[in-house]
Chains A and B, each alone.
Chain A
Amino acid sequence: MRVVAAMSGGVDSAVAAALAVEAGHDVTGVHLALSPDRQQLRSGSRGCCSVEDSHDARRVADELGIPFYVWDLADRFREDVVEDFVAEYAAGRTPNPCLRCNEKIKFSAVLDRARALGFDAVVTGHHARLVDGELRRSVDAAKDQSYVLGVLTPQQLAHAVFPLGEMTKDRVRELAAERGYAVATKPDSHDICFIPDGDTRGFLTRRLGEQPGPVVDAATGATVGTHAGVHGFTVGQRRGLGVTAGDQRPRFVLGIEPVSRTVTIGTAEQAEVSEVVTAAPTWTGPVPELPFRGQVQVRAHGAAVPCEVTPADGGGLRITLGERQRGVAPGQSAVLYAPDALRGDRVLGQAAVSATA
């Protein structure tokens, strides 16, 4: 196949590109420039977006002897990912920008461009298995990234290649070291790539300004404090509430109401939910028949819990949780899995949380 290898400059995408070359594909390396004002050197915990990262990617491409180009997708990224992120927080929801980037950038803008230019597929360094069109968890449970790929459609998956799903992250680093890549020991990136200092609240405050409102304790109905903006909060959050409850028990964010700018807090028990209602889902494969039993995961690094999925109004899903969960926020993606201990849990699809109970 003629493939584009998306190369961030990290070890995963470097090894993915190398494995694609070694598998006999005709590979072209592409680094995505997602920010219009890129820093020269890497800073903080991001691992993809500086000029230094671009050079790291180019070094590997040159060693592989493959063409390498930088595609400027800064405008698309700003419109589809960053602005969406800000708008979601302003509306009191909690988005996952990595999911959004996979949906709108890597497997949409990049894939479309690659296909138009005559390529058959996009190769990435995601830790997930994709066999016969079925998307499954990586063998490395700790590094599994199937959650952020849960938004992909069968059409997108038909043109995606994930060479790393059958190996652990340690093995990826070994393969990089064997090939002499300097990125073999490059630290993992985490946090949100467009917020290099990791200060999401500060980033949102710079974008949205201070919008003070009340903090209301659901247990008493009393206003117990004020806050500088609902974008500083996410449902389930415990730290940084700036209030002390009279009963000395910890408080969690229960809900965010952006119009009245009210942040409601409550006890751990109140913060737990047993049911999730979603917007219309997307499916990675054939549309499953409802109702069905499976597992659901609501955060990139959360655990999956058993669930039953039934239809809800407006084409959405009602997901009844087998275990009560804390910190399920509107805007998050609920990714549905069919457990499979042998071949890896299969990703069925995802839907954005609209309400909880």
Chain B
Amino acid sequence: MELIIKNGIVYDPLNGVKGEAMDIYVKDGKIVEKADGSKAQVIDATNMLVLPGGVDMHTHFAGPKVNLARMLRPEDHYKDPQRKRGVRRCGTGYSIPSVFTTGYWYAEMGFTLAFEAANPPLKMMHVQDELNDTPLIDKGAYPVFGNNWYVMESLSKGKIEECAAYIAWVLSAIKGYAIKVVDPGSVEEWKWGKGQIGDMDKQVENFGITPKEIVRGLAKVAKLLNLPHHLHIHTNMLGNPGNSEVTLETMKAVKDLVTNGELLIHMAHLQFHSYGGKEKDWNSFRSGSEEIMKYINKNPYVSFDMGQIAFTDTTTMTADGPFEYNLYEITKNKWMNADIEFETGSGIVPIEYKRDNFVHSIMWAVGLELALLSKDLWRVALSTDHPNGAPLTFYPRVISWLMSKKARERVLKLIPSSARSKTLLGSIDREFNFEEIAIITRASPAKLLGLKEKGHLGIGADADIAIYDINPKALDPERDYRKIRKAFRFAKYTIKDGKIVYKDNEIIEHFIAKTYWVNPHIREDLYNYINSELERNFDKYYTVKISNYKIPEGYLVKSKRIDIITKL
């Protein structure tokens, strides 16, 4: 099938296109140089904004914790039922949408790629099941390794190669995409009732390894394995006052591993890790974005996503069990947690972010400060850490806050004055233009994920295209931020793999797109060694057999394997 998008105003930062009116030709799901005009379907995009399909590199939309949250929160669903309409299947919202609804909502916003950000390898079958049912977006998942016994044991003995081989084995066995670290060492310690580790040099008792050593070890592993995405890390002490010091320490811990100016570490939902103040003293809570951004601007080996919050009722879910327990202590809300055997922990707590809350309003400002203070947007991605900061449907709102000082000031006026004085946001005049928005929602995350065919509209790229009904030339984003919000929430057209899947508020097609995973090739003797070690481990520690742990490639509805030549 051929498609011509005529005369749209295109922003394609990876190819240096800045708002030029041009035609885009699509053939067989790829962008091509020229299409045969007689057979092709033509979309007239005159005076419309044309962008590559959106990329969400950090989100939680599939897997056991999402499903547990669905069970924990019946009220989240009955307040936002989604009815069947045409090919659109029924479902529920709001902060933990059902699988179909997740896919539709992404398509409505012009997003075509999303990565599920924290999954215990043991539960990966469930993750793949839900990814198999999430329509209209390409996807993948990051398994968590930060509290994995095998990882901690091999790293504490200094066996980096063995650790790398183990991770390569797991990634290809359970079809993961990158290495995710959640609260390294701390979850394991907490599982034995010993509290959270806030000091990066404190040892995890049962393994004799510090969080710093885990982060360094796994950063080395990611380099050894040549993974397309570098180490994706959620640092210790999430959400605590004064945690910016731990965040800085984590970044500094891997600085000496940089050899060639490459990216080494991705700080996930940085907003939750950038607070000043004294530990455990909530009155001293303030924005720590300035110190953090000063460091990140100077050090090009660090990338981050925002983790912006919005004032709404949402659900927090993470593998960071100790944080969720603390949050339960503060909110006294219903909660649940789980121990994932050999691998990690997790927890879920619903939360309502309130505009009149001192802490929440500072958190809101910190996320925006981080993006606005950044000097290199090619290392920044937009995220709300869906649904931890806000449901994914709030991205347009975040975009409008970044594009309009007026929109930010409207909220700033409503937050407590005591909170306003603890933030910088009021003094920042920067407003993003459409090109910068295209970078942080498309080009940069695709680049950070190492996906060459995503996030741009050059020849050979996947034909994932979003067309929005606004004219960037005729619109003043500062004043018309409401129009921006509306346009980015409901795209005019969303094109996935060269097919129009969403048009004028209707889902037109329902199909399952690709699931990305990596297959690192390692030496055969290493592979056999890991296999025999694991067989012993599985008999001793796991509730499943090793043969039931692996997921065959045929299990994925549409598998997209990335074979990697590693240094092993």
- Do A and B interact with each other, yes or no? no
Chain A residues in the interface with B (C-beta under 8 A): none
